[in-house]
Amino acid sequence: MSALVRFITVLVAGAAISLLGILIGAWWLPFPVGVAAGVVLVRPRWVLPAGALIGLIAWTIPLVSAQLQYGLGPASLSLAAIMGFNGAATIPVALTLLVGLLLGLTGAWVGAAARGLVRPPLRPVQKLADQRLKVEDPVLAKR
């Protein structure tokens, strides 16, 4: 399985599991799902985006759904007023999405860090060296 396919698989599965959890009240689920994603994904550069997206998607979909069902304008304005940001309806929305994002992101960070402790990921420098070796050594390439 290529890294991209693995990334997409983890992202879709993670977001789906998190979303199901949120729908039954387990709003915190993006964090453990993020941990799992951090463990599963090998490429370090995919880990944090995956975690962040899992949290963001899982918290965005119900919010969009609520917007489509009820309209969130008055609620958003009310929450902004409660927070002391009168009239700034985007602030509660942004805060909500930020919390979801951070839950997934930090989970993924923990997962990846734990994985790194057991099996260090490939270092970027080493990967670059391998690629150069493939290009610059025609003899080896012919073999």
Partner 1 sequence: MPRLGPALNLVAAVLVSAALLYAAFFGAGPLPALGVAFNPVTGAWTMAADASSNGAQTLHLKGLTQPARVVLESDGTAHVMAATDHDMFLAVGYVHAKFRLFQMDLLRRQGEGRLSDVVGKAALDSDRFELQLGLLRTAQLEWSQLSSSDPSRDALVAYAQGVNDRIDEAESQHQLPAMFTLLGYQPQHWTPIDSLIVKGDMTQTLNFTDTPLVMALLEKSLGHDLTSEWFAVLPPNQQSPYDPGPYPAKATLEQIPPLPVAQAQLNKVAGDSMASLYQRLAALPAGLIATGGASNNWAVAGSHTASGGALMAGDPHLHLTLPAIWFQLTEDSPGYHTSGVSIPGTPVVLIGHNQHISWSLTDAQNQQTFFYVEKEDAAHPGQYFWNGAWKKYGTVSYDIPVLGASTDHLTVKYSVHGPVISERGLTTTVWWAGNIPSQDLGVLMRIGQAANFKQFRDALRDWHSPTHNFVYADDQGNIGLISAGYYPQVAQGQPWLPMPGTGEFDVTGTIPYDDIPQVYNPPSGVVWSANQRQVAGDYPYYIGTASNFFDPGYRANEINRFLGQNKKFTAADMMALQTDTRDYLASEIVPLLVNALSSENLTGNEVAARDLLAGWDDRMEINSSAASVWWTFWQEYLAATFDPWWKSHNVKVDRAELNDALGQDLEAWSLRDPTNPAFTLIGSAQSARDVMVASFRGTVALLGTRLGSDPAKWSWGRIHTRVLENLAQITGLNYGPLPDRGDANTPLAAPDFPSTHGPSWRMVVDWGAGTFSGIYPGGQSENPASTWYTNRAATWWDGRYAPMLDFTGASASPGAVTWSLQS
- Which residues of the shown chain bind partner 1 in the complex (CB under 8 A)? 22-23, 25, 27-28, 31, 44-45, 47-48, 59, 62-63, 66, 69-72, 74-75, 77-82, 84-86, 92, 95-96, 99-100, 102-103, 106-107, 109-110, 112-114, 116-117, 120
Minimum CB separation of residue 134 from partner 1 in Å reads 26
Give DSSP secondary structure letters for the chain. --HHHHHHHHHHHHHHHHHHHHHTT-TTTHHHHHHHHHHH--SHHHHHHHHHHHHHHHHHHHHHHHHHHT-SHHHHHHHHHHHT-TT-THHHHHHHHHHHHHHHHHHHHHHHHHHHHHSPPPPHHHHHHHHHHHHH-HHHHH-
Q: Is 41:7 a contact under the CB 8 Å cutoff?
A: yes
